[in-house]
Chains A and B, each alone.
Chain A
Amino acid sequence: MFPRPIQERSRSRQLMYKVALPISLIIWLLPMIAIVATAGRSLSDLNRGNYWGMPSEWAFIENFAKVFGSSSIGTYLLNSVIITLPSIAGALFLSTLAGAGLALYKFRGRFLILALFIAGNFVPFQILMIPVRQLTLDLGVYDTYWGVILFQIAFQTGFCTFFMRNFIAELPFELVEAARAEGVGEWQILVHIIVPLVRPALAALAVLQFTFIWNDFFWPLILIQSDELRPITLGLTVLKGQYISSFNLLAAGSLIAALPPVMMFFAMQKHFIAGLTLGASKG
């Protein structure tokens, strides 16, 4: 293990670590603390420039009540889930297949295909707005969940394929060879050998994808019109006014929106951090 477990160190070192950990956490989260504090300020305090001092009153309850009261935040959260989960499932499924296809077989043009998958990530995606909107119209999925889901699957497949291909290429190839020697079919190899080995990578990727898709507001903006289909990120932007922004409500809303990805991370952590050691046998 690296670095050396703190338990093996001297008592004073252990003490130092235990003190340093919360202090560094506080420094690291200072902007986060500021966001939380902003969520508890009144707009009148913010308009006075009181960003950092003691607020004249704490308005947490009022602000959160406003966020919940003035917008259909429950519907928005549900919509985010409806959009995010199938998108992740689709992107992970397609990219595991494609990643395996690119990592396990040698054929001409595989680097070109990989390059295309990566290249798609390097375009400033906002420029795709008009062609993609047209495409969803042609497919009849404009202003539906499916428009966003299909696009997210396709777009995220680029990065996911790159990610999965790298992980699969790092696996000990001898396992695949041995299976082939036994006459095991390629599909069976993928399902029974590759997938269990890359499960940690899939878990890590799922967390990242969850964050990306959950936080995206551009594509729902382009592809969805109806208020009742909007995800949380899009729903919250109306707290930004034409002239006047309710910074406090924006902060409160963004905290609510950030919680699901963090909880996802907390829950999935065990899977991708503990499990990854398997891939290490290659050394």
Chain B
Amino acid sequence: MRYLKTTVCAVALMLCSTSAFARDLVMNANTSDPAQKLAMEELIADFEAAYPEIDVKFNLYDHEAFKVAMRNFLVSDAPDLITWNAGNRMKVFVDLGLLEDVSDVWQAEGLHEAMPAVVSASSVEGKQYGVPYAYYAWGFYYRKDLFEQAGITSTPTTWEEFLEVGAKLNAAGITPITIGTKDLWPTAGWFDFLNMRINGGEFHAQLMDGKVAYTDERVKRVFEKWAELVSADFFVENHPGYSFQEALPFMNQGKSAMYLLAPFIVSMFPDDVREQVEWFPFPVIDPAVGIYEDAPTDSFHIPKNATNKEDARLFLAFAAQADVQTKTAATLDMLPPNINASVKDDRFAQGGFAQLGQANGIMQFYDRDTDPALAKVGMEGFQEFMQNPDRIDAILQRIEAERERIYGAL
């Protein structure tokens, strides 16, 4: 009995001790890619060095598990900080009243001026609910050596040139484009860019907000262009069987020349292949339409139910500093949202930075801009279309039905 009592006391003491130190800062993150993990560890170490009295408790989740866990911890026993994405993904939780208004941090640190590109993605009705630490451009990663082998001397800037490049690659026995659609999202990059290049950014934004029908003629035009590529055998075969990562061997083995993707791909090329890889932005289709780009933004947020919001704010302010952002973005191979930070000196980061600099506007990404249920049905449709272009009418009707269920009839 005495033994039991001691145990109970010991357990109680342990329970108390974890909550007794008010300067614990609990952070739950979904940054489980190798580079992301490293960047977070560095950031936390630097923060702890700057604020030795604060102890950051870091709980790392893999991305899918995080989505599951998040729905639970945000409403029960919330951490003090989370990583998440700006745009609609953030707005979902803001609307539910689960994220803290951090406009005061933006004010105090002058972030409106320092991070102009990400203000709107971080805002809901004029208030800011998170602080971005990195964003990145999408574009074509291609193998210079394979282009040369196929007799291609310059990268395509127009749709016609793009079709020509593909034809030449095909003639040389190289599949122009690799893609793995098992995880669906790589298809959405194609849809976003085609739609923004054909119909412009405003139309794209409206479509994302559910204000345009998917059966609209303008949406159909997107798939007509896309079908040109499918019927000309631009894409590798059997792409639904591959994840983004499992489709990389095509490019690494020299069987395929291009991948429409984001900077996290860079670390995945073996050294000898990486030397051959260069970058170009998505070509112009209609010169009358402005340049709009996908630039997904990753950010820190404070849950409404957090206990240590004061120190969490200190962290946000710290992570927004120019020199901190320079370091974090460089480790991530991404871009720092703070304009006073410097962009990593490599061709991919600089290329993406230049392209975003001249863009008329930026979007987050299909599955970050629109309702999650609609995004899922939409991307399944894109995948089916890429395998069976002739089913397009049925596919669009199905996506439209889901849009109507969520956003209502037009």
Chain A–chain B contact at Cβ < 8 A: yes
Q: Using a CB–CB distance below 8 Å, which chain A residues touch chain B?
A: 43-44, 47-50, 70, 129-130, 133-134, 137, 142-143, 221-222, 225-227, 234, 237-246
Taking the nearest CB of chain A, how far is it from the CB of B83, in angstroms?
A: 10
Most chain A CB within 10 A, of B30, B31, B57, B61, is at: B61
Q: How far is the CA of A39 from the CA of B267 in the complex (A)?
A: 20
Contact B62 A238 (CB under 8 A): yes
16 residue pairs A–B, Cβ–Cβ below 8 Å = A47-B248, A48-B270, A49-B248, A133-B72, A221-B61, A222-B69, A225-B28, A225-B77, A226-B59, A238-B37, A239-B32, A240-B32, A240-B62, A241-B33, A242-B36, A244-B268
**B282 interfacial by beta-carbon distance below 8 Å:** no
**List of A residues within 8 angstroms of B32 by Cβ:** 237-242
Contacts of B50 in A (CB 8 A): none
What is the CB-to-nearest-CB distance from A83 to chain B, in angstroms, rounded to a whole number? 16
Interface bin, chain B: 35 or more
Which residue among B33, B36, B58 has the maximum number of chain A CB atoms within 10 Å of its CB?
B33
Min CB–CB distance A63 → chain B (angstroms): 13
Q: Is B244 an interface residue (CB 8 A)?
A: yes
Chain A residues, Cβ within 8 Å of B241: none
- A243–B77 touching, CB < 8 Å: no
* CB-defined contacts of B108 to chain A, threshold 8 Å: none
Nearest Cβ on chain B to A177's Cβ, whole angstroms: 40
> Smallest CB-CB separation from B244: which chain A residue?
A243
Cβ-neighbour of B62 out of A44, A47, A129, A241 (below 8 A)? A241
Task: Judge whether A237 and B62 touch: CB under 8 Å.
Answer: yes
Chain B minimum-CB-distance residue to A51 = B249
Q: Give the complex CA separation of A142 and B33 in angstroms.
A: 28
Q: CB-CB < 8 A to A48: which residues of B?
A: 249, 252-253, 270
Report whether B77 and A44 are in contact in the complex, using a CB–CB cutoff of 8 Å. Answer: no
A143 to B18, CA, bound (A): 12
Chain A residues with Cβ under 8 A from B30's Cβ? 242
Bound Cα distance A245, B264 (Å): 12
Distance between Cα atoms of A50 and B76 in the complex (Å): 45
The smallest beta-carbon distance between B165 and chain A, in angstroms, is 24
Tell me if A225 and B245 are in contact (CB < 8 A): no
> Once the chains are docked, how many angstroms separate the CA of A221 from the CA of B62?
11
Contact across chains for A137 and B57 when beta carbons are under 8 A apart? no
Contact A142–B65 (Cβ < 8 Å): no
Q: A241-B63, A242-B36, A244-B268 are in contact. Are A47 and B77 (CB under 8 A)?
A: no
Contacts of B28 in A (CB 8 A): 225
The distance from the CB of B182 to the nearest CB of chain A, in whole angstroms, is 12
8 Å CB contact of A238 from B57, B60, B73: B60
Judge if B226 is at the interface, Cβ distance under 8 Å: no
- Please name the residue on chain A nearest to B261 by beta carbon: A243
Could you tell me the distance in whole angstroms from the C-beta of B74 to the nearest C-beta in chain A?
11
Residue B34 CB within 8 A of the other chain: yes
Given A44-B270, A137-B77, A227-B60, verify A244-B252 contact (CB < 8 Å).
no
A135 vs B69: C-alpha distance when bound (angstroms): 16
Contact partner of A221 among B31, B57, B69, B270, CB < 8 A?
A: B69
**CB neighbours of B318 from chain A (8 A):** none
Query: Does B4 have its Cβ within 8 Å of any Cβ on chain A?
Result: no
- Interface presence of B79 (CB below 8 A): yes
Residues from chain B with a CB closer than 8 A to the CB of A47 are 245, 248-249, 252, 268-270
Residues of chain B within 8 A of A143, CB atoms compared: 77
- Closest approach, in angstroms, between the C-beta of A139 and any C-beta of chain B? 12
B270: chain A residues within 8 A (beta carbon): 44, 47-48
